[in-house]
Structure 1
Amino acid sequence: MYTLLVLVACATVSAEHLVVGNTANRVVVAHHELVEYNAIPFKKRVKDFLYSSPINKPIQGIQALDTMHCKSTANITAGGLGYPFVNIRMKSERGKGLSYDIGIYVLPDFQ
């Protein structure tokens, strides 16, 4: 009985997060956004997130956290670390929606 409960708990918490670069030390959040897409039965949902720095600062870290804790995926398709822009493509499971908490990190301006 206890083994079954542990397996079910592990299956419900598996998520596909995307964390690239430095997201903790000496960086600041340049952009934060919650990207959501509703589910359609029997269909995979695909959403593209585009970010471009208004002052051409290179990106130091990217964090895309799956807030629904399902098996959706997030991939960088263009730009990314060292570039002032990034394109992230998110794809849901069949019949599920998607929800990602996205943060873009850059170095701060020290004065």
Structure 2
Amino acid sequence: MSQFEQSRYKLNSTIQTIIDNLMIEEWVTDISYKKYYKRCAPISCTYFKNEKYDWKFVLMQLIGLLGSVTTICSFIIENIVKFIRRQPSQNIESIPCKFSCLFC
């Protein structure tokens, strides 16, 4: 900003008002990733995401986990039951007794 341009602040602006606006007259946003990588030439980019998990997030995760466990268990149990039912059953036939009863 040149010295001949009008300021965005009024002549009677308080210092507090100017400081609240970070003493910025004009904000110029010129985003160029190409220029950034050419000038800085970073080897790698990393970032850290710090999140606090609230109770709603934890509750939804637990419900999802229980739903997954229920689905997996029902699939496994269904296959075990099918496997057991396919096994040949041992039919034990009762043979009538042809001997005379001693206490009859």
Give the TM-score normalised by the residue count of structure 2. Answer: 0.19
Bigger RCO (CA 8 Å, 6+ sep): 1
Structure number having the greater helix percentage: 2
Give the TM-score normalised by the residue count of structure 1. Answer: 0.18
**Which of structures 1 and 2 has the bigger CA Rg?**
2
